Amino acid sequence: MERFRQWILPVLAAVLILGAAMTVLLLSRPHIGDLLSFTGRPPSQSPLSDGESARSVTYRFLFPGEAHAAPGKLTLGRFANGHLCEGATWEFDGIDQWHGWASAIFARERHWTPEEQPGWRISRWLVENIDSAYDCDHLFWSIQALQYLDPDSLANEIDMIEHSGCTVRIVLTEGVSTYDYNVDTLYWNPVAVPDPLAALAHELHHAWHDLCRNGDAVPDKGREQLALLAENRIRHILFLKDPASSHLYPRLGTQESPPEILGDSPQETWANYRNAIAH
């Protein structure tokens, strides 16, 4: 009996320790519901309806105040033939959360294949660094975010880059994001301040200008002014759609006068900037 006690007590202790550790792990693990809110049923649970093809399905981030846009959230909507699908919106606290959950969302979409999306080829042009956490997939989902933020402009430029028949070498940098027209190389800082997506939009516009609009023939000043307009378009859209980007200001170039543009808040500054651009 004494032998049995000597054997069983350590085993029970080990079981209790393991059980306590599992409890802590489960309690500390974030729930999907805490990180990502689904409204309604995930669209992948129902097949495409009559007259709805894969090409008719699009996605974009909603503007605040738009139907089914969640207050204080970055909201993605799924559209079929231009109409928001019932129960097909996803809510995020910001772009960082998008990066954490985007791949899981689209894995549910039967008609959606990453390799067929504009931006997939561009993301594979990245020269990967094994020591970096920012790989081709991170770049791909960054490009998807840009497309869904700005489907009317930047999304078209991304598609044109991929159909240009040319390629761009993409290199991650810890310095300032830049584009080299001489060697068709894009340098991107994925943690750029104040926003890496805006920096990526700036350099992708340079790539589009270079490959699709003979940007080599344009003076440096003209190239930069056009890219700055594209960057500020994304900054403004992020400011409007992403609550985590409500601090973003426009980046001023040589054609804007800071005393006339800068206001006491981002809202006032953006209003001044839009007025200056319009005139």
pLDDT at 279: 73
**pLDDT grade, residue 56 (50/70/90)?**
confident
The more confidently predicted of residues 57 and 257 is: 57
What's the average model confidence in pLDDT over 149-157? Answer: 97
Closest CA to 235 of 164, 139, 146, 137: 146
- Averaged pLDDT, 246-265: 84
The pLDDT of residue 2 is: 43
Range with lowest mean pLDDT among 85-94, 140-149, 256-265? 256-265
Is 49 or 116 the better-scoring residue by pLDDT? 116
Q: Is 48 left (phi over 0), alpha (psi -120 to 50) or beta?
A: beta
SS3 content of the chain, % helix, strand, coil (to 5): 50, 15, 35
Q: Look at 42-51, 70-79, 241-250 and tell me which has the smallest mean pLDDT.
A: 42-51
pLDDT band at residue 34 using 50, 70 and 90 as cut-offs: very low
What value does the mean pLDDT take over residues 24-28?
27
Task: Return the pLDDT at 6.
Answer: 44
Q: What is the pLDDT of residue 255?
A: 65
Residue 135: what pLDDT?
96
Give the tens place of pLDDT for each residue, 110-137: 889 999 999 999 999 999 988 888 999 9
pLDDT digits (tens, 9 = 90+) for 72-92: 999 999 999 999 999 999 999
Give the pLDDT of residue 130.
82
Q: Tell me the pLDDT tens digit for each residue of 162-216.
A: 999 999 999 999 999 999 999 999 999 999 999 999 999 999 999 999 999 999 9
- Mean pLDDT to the nearest integer, 96-110: 93
pLDDT of residue 254: 63
| Residue 258: pLDDT band with limits 50, 70, 90 | confident
Whether 276 has a pLDDT exceeding 90, the answer reads no
Structure-model confidence comparison of residues 185 and 24, the more confident one:
185
* pLDDT for position 256: 63
Mean predicted lDDT score pLDDT of the chain: 83
Query: What's the whole-number mean pLDDT along residues 30-40?
Result: 31
